[in-house]
Structure 1
Amino acid sequence: MELFKNMQNGIFGGNMGIGNTIKKIRLNRNMTQKQIAEGIIGQGTYSRIERDQLQVDVELFAKLIQKLNISSNEFFYVHNNYSATEQQIIMQEFRELTIISPDLLKIKINRLEKFLNKTPLTNLNKIYIAYQILVHYINGGDKKNIHLQAKALWEEFQRLDNWYIDDLILLNSLLFLLPLEIAEEITTTALKRIRYYNGYEKDLTYLEIFFQIDLSVIYIEHQEYEEALSKLNCIEIKYKQKMSYQTLAGLFFNKSICYLFLNEQYDEEFSKIKLLLEIYGDSSLLNMLQHNFEELRLQVEQVNL
């Protein structure tokens, strides 16, 4: 209840001026106050909302923006002068975190700490914990302790009835820090939860792909190459048309690794990487993958001598 009050006062309070934004959108839709208010509230009450004289609760706000045919995300983007809020920016940065470095994590943690000092009641607290775990990992902290921290965060999610998009993104970012059996459990559950979002305004297929590819990488780390290869083949068949070229190149790379360790031919998979990245002109990614694969190939040769 306290969290709801905080959200109500912080987001839906009259001092935020959301009534003026509702008015601007209504006028741009060529709709009257009567058309918006009809079946929801009286026109006089609605008029007070547009003048920011009446606080709007969550339920009423949802009904009004539905009449305006606009999502809450787009509404607040418009309301914030066509820019993301601080919370949205922080979450977006976490979603797009691909390269993990101590300096980059420090910058992101500092920004998040400042935000949490101003707004302590927020779902970003779990993101802060995730960042701390990643810092310990990248700095070579005790692996057992890192696994315990990641597992403790997972246990919190197990107590929740539902996972939302940000929760799924967070769990995906920590998947490689958890034991294989837990990673499998999370992936299975996540795929079921993602299906709840069929028909949602944003296609979440990318999350299905990430969970399954990341799980295949964990299989590779556990030297379960046949299992990893089987999953990668299934992913390629089902999602190839939906994948970015970088993700698809990564899939071919992981398949090449499996074939390498299974002492099977990998040239065909690696030729796909070269062709794909040459088409997109991404020589830096191609050079990095070639370098990494050559190092692995030499390691395998040394073991087999």
Structure 2
Amino acid sequence: MTHIRQNFGVDFKKIRENKSYTQQYVAQDAMARSTYTKFEMGNIVPTITKYFQILNNLDMTHEEFNYIHNDYQLKGKDAILYQFRTMAVNTDISILINVRETTKNYLTEHKDNIVQDIFYICNALITLSKTNDLTQAASYAEKVWHRISQLDKWYLTELRLLNNILFFFDFDTSLFISKRALIELEHYSHFHEATALKMAYSMNLIYLLMENKNYEQALEKADSLILLSKEKERYRILGVLYVRKGIILTKLAKNTEAEVWIQKGFNLLEAIEDFPLKKELDKEVLYYLNHS
């Protein structure tokens, strides 16, 4: 049976005492109280199954416990994954370069598919930023897709990776990834993080459909995502959706309705003072309205 490699007993004891839990309470369904006492003293190491049961009795996840164990700091791969999530909402090249160096250093001592993928993604984004050469940048993104495309199932980590490189691929590949990702995410209806990913993929799918001039389907997806954005109170996304719905309606020759939706989106973004996003959407409106 698999055992955890480190002795966490001292930390478990501190947490238990801070919560005013007895050893009997924390040990229930995992092991005898006398055995748990030995674990807190560092005399034994529990199996993975028992470790997770004890954590459950302490009302704590492995991620939180590991963070506490490391003196409330992220280390190694955990730090890289956190930096990667920061990348998803901030494309500042200095951040990308920093993450790339961190992953490069980590990979000199560890073999890890996910960290390797993050390294490739950083290279793709940095190359595109510096050269504007999509073909050159895509060569890195394709390494990530080559690995993940061979998997029978995608989990949240793989879905996050793909969401960062979706637009490096041709339309058909991007559309396939988006649709499959949304199917995979249906299994995670009770995960908060999955909701954010679902919204990101749905937004990307709307953009792809617009680029392919499939405006009827884009409108259907936009209306669905508008309802979800309202429910989750994601006003930044809602502002973008209103503007894009207006663009779509223009393309469908429903100009009167279109103007209302575009202005509604801009008003919302002004209300939350996201002026940089409003500026980008101004360009998007001009792009679509000036192209047949």
Give the TM-score normalised by structure 2. 0.84
How many Å separate the matches in 2 of 1:157 and 1:28? 43
How many Å separate the matches in 1 of 2:70 and 2:118? 23
Which SS does the other structure have where 1:123 is aligned?
helix
How many Å separate the matches in 2 of 1:146 and 1:225? 29
TM alignment of 1:1-305, pairs within 5 A: 12-14=4-6, 17-96=7-86, 97-121=88-112, 123-140=114-131, 142-144=133-135, 146-147=137-138, 149-200=140-191, 202-262=192-252, 264-265=254-255, 266-290=258-282, 292-293=283-284, 295-296=286-287, 300=290
Aligned AA for 1:289?
Answer: L
Structure 2 vs 1, CA of residues 274 and 239 (structure 1 numbering), >3 Å: closer, same or farther? closer
How many Å separate the matches in 1 of 2:11 and 2:279? 49
Aligned AA for 2:10?
Answer: N
How many Å separate the matches in 2 of 1:52 and 1:173? 43
Could you report, residue by residue, the CA deviation over 1:136-168 in whole angstroms, capped at 9, with x for unpaired residues?
333336544544543442232233243222211
Taking only aligned residues, the RMSD between alpha carbons, in angstroms, comes to 3.0
How many Å separate the matches in 2 of 1:130 and 1:199? 28
Unpaired runs of 5+ residues, structure 1, are none
Aligned AA for 1:280?
Answer: I
How many Å separate the matches in 2 of 1:102 and 1:114? 18
Could you report, residue by residue, the CA deviation over 1:230-251 in whole angstroms, capped at 9, with x for unpaired residues?
3212221344322522211222
Structure 2 vs 1, CA of residues 176 and 240 (structure 1 numbering), >3 Å: closer, same or farther? farther
Unpaired runs of 5+ residues, structure 2, are none
Give the TM-score normalised by structure 1. 0.80
Residue range with higher mean Cα deviation, 209-218 or 261-270: 261-270
Cα contact 1:100–1:138 (8 A) shared by 2: no
How many Å separate the matches in 2 of 1:69 and 1:161? 33
